Amino acid sequence: MRLGLRTVALLGVAVLAFALGHDSHARTAAPAAHPAGSGGGGAPGQTAPARHRHGRHRVDAIDRAIRDNDYVARGTPHRKEVALTFDDGPGPQTRPLVRWLHAHGVPATFFVIGRNAAADPAAVRLEARDGFAIGDHTQSHAMLGILASSAQSAEIDQAAHVLHQITGRHIRLFRPPYGSFNATTLQLLRSDRILMVLWSIDTKDYTRPGVQRIVYTALSGARAGSILLMHDGGGPRDETVAAVPKIVHRLRLKGYRMVTVPQLLAADPPPRNQPPPHSLSGG
């Protein structure tokens, strides 16, 4: 009788061990949820599993950049990569721009105003669905450098909340409107583990200088690791939409690869301890 009970007990332990091992394997093998703030990871058009595989690296790259620096304004010059970034959307030209970028396999990063996102969440979902990176551009396009800490915090947090509600992503990138910020801004971003993204080329497309001028400014300033500032909202952006295909075509002819900001950081991280950032003028 004792032998029989012992045999049953051992059999029960074996079954339990198998079940636990199978459950652990199932959890390990299951696809990861969309990484917070990854911006989708891969180039537009990739399948969801590929985005998930690469997304973790993008999040890690943002974490490394935040650990080493308060901001990024360009990548390092080791790879011929350029990050196209668009501010102030969504606007009327956002959809045609996103569709063109997606159709031609061009990754990009959109810095979105919270109130514009709330007014047109479908456009933001289109950006998120197509795998672009999305960043915070404040709730109301405020000039943060002249605001008190509480007002700055509200501008950043409200936009991040709106974007999270729409996309399900925890926003990890931020661009200050007008390039206006101060030590308080950096402290707030650091506490929230958000990276400030500036730029190395301002196309000044918000002044509506004409398509050829936008193209010339982008191409004449482009270097390996450049971050280009353009706009998809905040006013008529038909010139920008017309300029982007020309910019992309000529950059590709020169051997450049277009990437999102997280991709730029992952492929070629900026050096540690860069000089302190200074407020910039821009749109």
Catalytically annotated residues = 87, 231
Mapped to the 3 state alphabet, what secondary structure does the chain carry?
A: CHHHHHHHHHHHHHHHHHHHHHHHHHHHHCCCCCCCCCCCCCCCCCCHHHHHHHHHHHHHHHHHHHHHCCEECCCCCCCCEEEEEEEEECCCCHHHHHHHHHHCCCCCEEEECHHHHHHCHHHHHHHHHCCCEEEECCCCCCCHHHCCHHHHHHHHHHHHHHHHHHHCCCCCEECCHHHCCCHHHHHHHHHCCCEEECCCEECCHHHCCCHHHHHHHHHHHCCCCCEEEEECCCCCCHHHHHHHHHHHHHHHHCCCEEECHHHHHHHCCCCCCCCCCCCCCCC
How many domains are contained in the chain?
A: 1
Quick check: is 183 in a domain? yes
Quick check: is 273 in a domain? no
Residue range of the domain that includes 140: 48-267
Quick check: is 28 in a domain? no
Quick check: is 12 in a domain? no
CB count within 10 Å of CB 268 equals 17
- pTM greater than 0.85: no
Query: Do the beta carbons of residue 134 and residue 163 sit within 8 Å?
Result: yes
Quick check: is 7 in a domain? no
Mean pLDDT of 130-138: 95
CATH number of the domain to which 160 belongs: 3.20.20.370
Return d(Cα 253, Cα 88) in angstroms, integer.
29
Q: pLDDT for 9-60, tens place per residue?
A: 434 444 333 333 433 333 333 333 333 344 433 333 333 333 433 455 567 8
pLDDT of residue 74: 92
Mean pLDDT of 141-147: 96
Quick check: is 260 in a domain? yes
Q: pLDDT for 180-194, tens place per residue?
A: 999 999 999 999 999
Return d(Cα 158, Cα 136) in angstroms, integer.
9
Quick check: is 159 in a domain? yes
Using only the alpha carbons of the chain, give its radius of gyration: 22
Mean pLDDT (the chain, rounded): 82
Tokens 């926003």 correspond to what residue?
171
Residue 82 sits at the vertex; the CA angle it makes with 78 and 84, to the nearest 5 degrees, is 160
Q: pLDDT for 197-213, tens place per residue?
A: 999 999 999 999 999 99
Quick check: is 67 in a domain? yes
Cis upstream peptide for 270 (omega within 30°): no
φ, ψ at 174 (rounded to 5°): -145, 140
